[in-house]
Amino acid sequence: MFDSPASVASPSETCEGVEHFRDGRFFNPGVPEHGFLDLLQWMRNREIGPWRNWIPSTPGPPPPAQAEGASLRVTFVNHATVLLQTDGCNILTDPVWSRRVSPVSFMGPQRHRDPGIRFEDLPAIHCILISHNHYDHLDLPTLRRLAAAHDAEVFCPLGVARMLRRAGFRRVREMDWWQQKPWQGTMVHCVPAQHFSARHPFDRNRTLWCGWMLETPSGNVYFAGDTGFAPLFKAIAERFSPIRLALLPIGAYEPEWFMGPVHMTPEQAVEAQSMLGASVALAIHFGTFALADDGETDPVDRLQLALGDRAGAEPFWVLEEGEGRLVP
């Protein structure tokens, strides 16, 4: 399953005593899994919110070549793909530029809008963070393009490195929860997430899922990946406070009885920002692929209601596709 015993540490030795691997599969400690009958119940009773077939948009301007010094720039491409720029380094999270996120090109979830930045307008990419192996987060066609065009180092959770090397990347760091590795003056930490993995019906939870914390000279940046709401946010805050920026998912949460263990609601994302103590949060994982039953605008609508009139509260940004901002 993993690359080689020499290159990948045993999960039981790297998560500080918290068991999350048993009988060849990973699991979320203390969280019961939904079974096949639960999946059938959801599929039989789906009430899918409305989506436009196609959402017209104009690509954003090319991002700058780099951000210097202590400045931190974030550009929302869409879904979970974000460009982070700081200290002369350019970092992509879960890059997806493909039309579909599926094992085949003719069926499966497809885009309802273009990526906010043209692939050709990307600056030199130095680092890529992969949170898990779902098709909307690990997109091999995009990764092959990136491997051919950019000399990037890739960080991924346990079990995913072999796929990335086959895609063409020469430098891949495979990590377990709470492991850390230095990179270009930044300490990269693999942190827990509450989710699952699968590429087909027979490999569920054979590879790990995670979030990422970047301890940069300009401040700590947290990429949650895909996760349900859990005490893990408190544990992350205890280790990495203060957090300058947190990228938090807000979509694919309906129906909540089924999706709740693995996807946060917008209200929970607001609570997660509070638990993390993040100075700025950025909404991700919404508005591009219809993956659950929430409609196109539901995540942002609920987020805005949850935020309400929070005078003096830390900002929670919702950026347009292709929009870039400097993080205070």
3-state DSSP assignment of residue 314: coil
Q: How far is CA 242 from the centre of its chain?
A: 20
Dump pLDDT digits (tens) for 173-202.
Answer: 999 999 999 999 999 999 999 999 999 989
User: What are the tokens at 181?
Assistant: 């590795």
Confirm whether 11 is domain-assigned. Answer: no
Contact 242, 221 (CB under 8 A): no
Total of domains in the chain: 1
Confirm whether 118 is domain-assigned. Answer: yes
User: What are the tokens at 70?
Assistant: 């202590």
Confirm whether 261 is domain-assigned. Answer: yes
Tell me, what CATH number does 235's domain have?
A: 3.60.15.10
Of 193, 198, 237, the C-alpha closest to 211 is 193
The reported pLDDT for the residue numbered 280 is: 98
3-state DSSP assignment of residue 109: coil
The reported pLDDT for the residue numbered 3 is: 43
The reported pLDDT for the residue numbered 6 is: 34
Confirm whether 37 is domain-assigned. Answer: no
CA dist 82 and 264 (Å) reads 19
Confirm whether 53 is domain-assigned. Answer: no
Would you say how long the chain is, in residues? 328
The reported pLDDT for the residue numbered 16 is: 59
CA dist 96 and 115 (Å) reads 8
User: What are the tokens at 198?
Assistant: 């699968």
Dump pLDDT digits (tens) for 102-156.
Answer: 998 888 899 999 999 999 999 999 999 999 999 999 999 999 999 999 999 999 9
Burial of 155-193, coded b for 16+ CB within 10 Å and e otherwise, reads bbbbbbbbbbbebebeebbbbbbbbeeebeebebbbbbb
Dump pLDDT digits (tens) for 242-271.
Answer: 999 999 999 999 999 999 999 999 999 999
Instruction: List 156's β-bridge partners, or say none.
Output: 174
Confirm whether 139 is domain-assigned. Answer: yes
Other CB atoms within 10 A of residue 64 CB? 14
For 167, the domain range is 60-326
Confirm whether 45 is domain-assigned. Answer: no
Confirm whether 138 is domain-assigned. Answer: yes
Dump pLDDT digits (tens) for 28-43.
Answer: 999 988 888 888 898 8
Largest CA distance in the chain: 53
